[in-house]
Amino acid sequence: MRPYPESREIKELVDSERWEEAKARLELLASKQNDSAMLNDLALIYARLGERKKAVEVIEQAKALDDDVRIWINHYFLTELSKWGCERGENALKRIKELKVGDPNLKPKLSIIMRTYNRGQLIEKSIRSVLNQKFQDWELVIANDGGSRDVEKTLEKLWDKRMVYAYAEHSGPAGVFNVGLRLARGKYIGFLDDDDIIYPEHWERMVNYLDRYPEVKVLYSDLNLRWLRRNGKLKNKAHLAKEYRAQKLKTEFYIMQLMAIVFRKEGLEKAIGFLEDLRSSVDWEFVIRLSEGFEFEYLPGFAGEWYGREGSEQVGKRPAVDRLLQNNLILYYYGASPFFSWGIRNHLPSEKFLRVLKEFCNRFPEMVPGLSLRSIHHRREFHLFYQLAKELEKGNQLPKAMTAYRFALSLSAFMPKIWHKIIRVWIKFRKN
Question: Is the separation of the CB atoms in 248 and 325 below 8 Å?
Answer: no
This prediction has a pTM of 0.90
Q: How far is CA 185 from CA 163, 179, 217, 271, 293, in A?
A: 11, 13, 17, 17, 21
Each residue's pLDDT tens digit in the chain (432 positions)? 988 999 999 999 999 999 999 999 999 999 999 999 999 999 999 999 999 999 999 999 999 999 999 999 999 999 999 999 999 999 999 999 999 999 999 999 999 999 999 888 889 999 999 999 999 999 999 999 999 999 999 999 999 999 999 999 999 999 999 999 999 999 999 999 999 999 999 999 999 999 999 999 999 999 999 887 767 777 888 888 887 777 777 876 655 689 999 999 999 988 999 999 999 889 999 999 999 889 899 999 999 999 887 655 444 455 667 888 999 999 999 999 999 999 986 678 999 999 999 999 999 999 999 998 988 888 899 999 999 999 899 888 999 999 999 999 999 999 999 999 999 999 998 887
Number of Cβ atoms within 10 Å of the Cβ of 136: 13
Domain boundaries, the chain: 1-83, 92-321, 337-432
d(CA 12, CA 112): 40
**Residues near 14 by Cβ (< 8 Å), separated by ≥ 6?**
22, 45, 335, 340
Which helix (H) or strand (E) segment holds residue 92: the answer is none
Handedness of CA 116, 236, 233, 133 (dihedral sign): negative
In the 8-state DSSP scheme, what is residue 345?
A: T
Please name the fold of domain 1-83.
1.25.40
What CATH architecture is 92-321?
Alpha-Beta Complex (3.90)
In the 8-state DSSP scheme, what is residue 165?
A: E
